[in-house]
Amino acid sequence: MSTKIPTQMEKCKGAMLATAIGDALGWPNEPRSKNRVKKPKVMDNFVGWIRSSNNPRWHDEKILPGEYSDDTQLTLAVARSIIAGDWETFFAEKELPFWLNYERGGGGALLKAAKSCEKGILLWQSQYTRDYYNAGGNGAVMRILPHVIASAKTPNTAKLIVDVMKDTLITHGHPRAFLGATCYAYALEYLLKKETILEYGELVAAVIDGQNVWGAVPDLDIFEEWLNIARQNLEYDFLIEWENVRTRMVKQLEFIGTSLKKGLILDDTKVLTELECFDKSSGAGDVAILASIYLTSRYANNPSLGIKIPAFSFGADTDTIASITGGLLGMLSGTDWIPTEWREVQDYNCLVQMAEFLMADNKKEATKKEVAEAKAQNSQWNATPIGKMRFVESSNAPNGKNGIVIINKWQTTLGQTIYTKTFQPKNISIQSHQSKKPVSTPQQVTPKESKKFVLNLMDISELLGNPEFKTNITIGKVLKIIEDLIDDKETSKNLSKKYKVDQLFVEQIGKYVTDMKDSNRV
């Protein structure tokens, strides 16, 4: 490997790319991936595989070589939130709820938090606070890279740690999740600032030295409400548990430092076992970052191998540990080391551009040109809570004798690939939402012969964004409004008074009532 130190831009691009690469390599081997191949083999290249999925109904889903899971999906979601501005609100109110439409491999804590956000409630403010404060998984750790990249030009470690904590608490409440995320952010920033060759074992020593920064308890002035709710609902003392986790992490870091001194006789499996990578706590946030710091320190001069080892450490949380290790190694080494075959990772160009946008002085302005060019090349864009998307293609997967699952492929204006799925029962004809390509739509109601009511996934997202759906409006009332709109006997103003809803809400529903002969509605 060359000893040339990459620029900060190259480091950030490398971190984004290697995060997705590790995710894509490790996802088929992750215990919860539901890979149809029970004994996958160690490979140098990306592989296609079949995933047994239960969303929205059981079916076999084809995962193409290089496609990534929720780790990279949520990394990009955080990146978009930062670019949009007011990232906390955007992530909790837009990105997380919409992610439920296209998530791939999300863990229980993430899904529960996203569903709560969909209802307009943060999980720590809900009735499920006890489960929330016990959630110490790595679902927060895996997505915080964009915060580090966004602060690259104006580094402020204290502010970075606060932002990472604010991000974490949206989905996870246990100190293992927080300290895993803050430790990862600290290590990433250290490597980003590094302008000389990283010495063997240096990263471990640096993280131990920084324990009072990444390990500092949440600031009471900033997190007072959150900490008060924690005290009221926990079966454990949060601050005592925080200190216990931090102390244990430092001891594990010291163990890593001692292990690295063994050099060539070092056994990776034994070290990863000691770090709890194969235990029941293998998915914890602190486990993920500790394993990644070890692997980054051991393979700083061989990033490809450093990512492959966790990706194929069967029994461990292969996708997340490989993804986080990739983030660290990419932040250290830039992009030159990435093998040609790994540059086929899903959304390569999007990942590179996202790093550029995050480092821009005016992040919003930087994205406008790219979005404008994308819109100029294609007119078929659908509005969603997270920006516009265009339909690419559709495929079907059988759900036994019950029907088929329709898988629609979309692309955002910034180039991210997204798959949405809907279930079509047997013998139910679903019409296309595109005039040129046959595609299933989630819902279609045809009560009358002259008119029909048609929704596609993007339409549903738009409707759910209407404030009326935040109230106690019933499905029955919505169906009655649809029926009256199809009958076309009353104005939207009269229907608004009749059903005691906002007139704009009635008019929004009315957009999806069309003549039967009209087959070109988008």
Calculate mean pLDDT across residues 359-368. Answer: 84
Q: Which tens digits make up the pLDDT trace of 336-353?
A: 999 999 999 999 999 999
Q: Which tens digits make up the pLDDT trace of 375-418?
A: 777 678 999 999 999 999 999 999 988 899 999 999 999 999 99
pLDDT computed for residue 72 by the predictor? 98
473 has pLDDT over 80: no
* CATH architecture for residues 8-24+65-359: Orthogonal Bundle (1.10)
Rounded to whole angstroms, the Cα distance separating 254 from 191 reads 19
Rounded to whole angstroms, the Cα distance separating 110 from 432 reads 32
Please, which pLDDT band fits residue 451 given cuts at 50, 70 and 90?
low
Calculate mean pLDDT across residues 483-510. Answer: 77
Please, which pLDDT band fits residue 20 given cuts at 50, 70 and 90?
very high
Q: Buried b vs exposed e over 19-35: b needs ≥16 C-beta within 10 Å? A: bbbbbbbbbbbbeebeb
Q: Buried b vs exposed e over 56-67: b needs ≥16 C-beta within 10 Å? A: ebebebebebbb
488 versus 294: the higher-pLDDT residue is 294
Q: What residue spans of 412-491 are helical by DSSP H?
A: 457-464, 475-487
Closest among 490, 488, 420 to 455, alpha carbons compared? 420
Task: Let me know if 429 is exposed, middle or buried by CB neighbors in 10 A (0-12, 13-18, 19+).
Answer: exposed
Calculate mean pLDDT across residues 290-297. Answer: 98
Rounded to whole angstroms, the Cα distance separating 168 from 142 reads 10
Rounded to whole angstroms, the Cα distance separating 329 from 16 reads 10
What distances in angstroms separate CA 241 from CA 56, 174, 179, 230, 413, one per listed residue? Answer: 38, 9, 11, 12, 44
Rounded to whole angstroms, the Cα distance separating 311 from 321 reads 7
Rounded to whole angstroms, the Cα distance separating 184 from 204 reads 12
DSSP state, 265? G
Q: Which tens digits make up the pLDDT trace of 241-289?
A: 999 999 999 999 999 999 999 877 889 999 999 999 999 999 999 999 9
Place of tokens 């080494």: 333
11 has pLDDT over 90: yes
Please, which pLDDT band fits residue 435 given cuts at 50, 70 and 90?
very low
Please, which pLDDT band fits residue 521 given cuts at 50, 70 and 90?
very low
Tokens at 104, concatenated: 């791939």
pLDDT computed for residue 126 by the predictor? 84
Task: Let me know if 369 is exposed, middle or buried by CB neighbors in 10 A (0-12, 13-18, 19+).
Answer: exposed
243 versus 234: the higher-pLDDT residue is 243
438 has pLDDT over 80: no
Tokens at 10, concatenated: 């190259």
Most confident segment among 304-308, 387-391, 505-509: 304-308
For the packed helices 70-84 and 363-377, what is the interaxial angle rounded to 10 degrees?
A: 110
446 has pLDDT over 60: no
Rounded to whole angstroms, the Cα distance separating 105 from 111 reads 10
CA 77, 81, 87, 88 torsion-angle sign: negative
308 has pLDDT over 50: yes
Number of Cβ atoms within 10 Å of the Cβ of 499: 16
Lowest-confidence region among 130-134, 231-235, 312-316, 496-500: 496-500
Closest among 386, 388, 387, 385 to 465, alpha carbons compared? 385
pLDDT computed for residue 430 by the predictor? 45
Task: Let me know if 449 is exposed, middle or buried by CB neighbors in 10 A (0-12, 13-18, 19+).
Answer: exposed
518 has pLDDT over 70: no
Spatial contact of 33 and 71, defined as CB atoms under 8 Å apart: no
pLDDT computed for residue 365 by the predictor? 80
Tokens at 306, concatenated: 């450093």
For the chain, the maximum distance between any two Cα atoms, rounded to a whole number of angstroms, is 82
Q: Buried b vs exposed e over 196-227: b needs ≥16 C-beta within 10 Å? A: eebeebbbbebbeebbebbbeebeeeebeebb
Supply the mean pLDDT for the chain. Answer: 88
Rounded to whole angstroms, the Cα distance separating 391 from 381 reads 8
Place of tokens 């998530």: 103
Closest among 30, 16, 18 to 63, alpha carbons compared? 30
Q: Which tens digits make up the pLDDT trace of 57-82?
A: 999 999 999 999 999 999 999 999 99
Q: Which tens digits make up the pLDDT trace of 175-223?
A: 999 999 999 999 999 999 999 999 999 999 999 999 999 999 999 999 9
440 has pLDDT over 50: no
522 has pLDDT over 50: no
Task: Delimit the CATH 1.10.4080.10 region(s) of the chain.
Answer: 8-24+65-359
Rounded to whole angstroms, the Cα distance separating 136 from 353 reads 31
Please, which pLDDT band fits residue 466 given cuts at 50, 70 and 90?
low
pLDDT computed for residue 472 by the predictor? 58
pLDDT computed for residue 448 by the predictor? 37
Please, which pLDDT band fits residue 512 given cuts at 50, 70 and 90?
confident
315 versus 434: the higher-pLDDT residue is 315
pLDDT computed for residue 428 by the predictor? 57
319 has pLDDT over 90: yes
Calculate mean pLDDT across residues 320-343. Answer: 97
Tokens at 470, concatenated: 């935040």
Lowest-confidence region among 167-171, 180-184, 367-371: 367-371
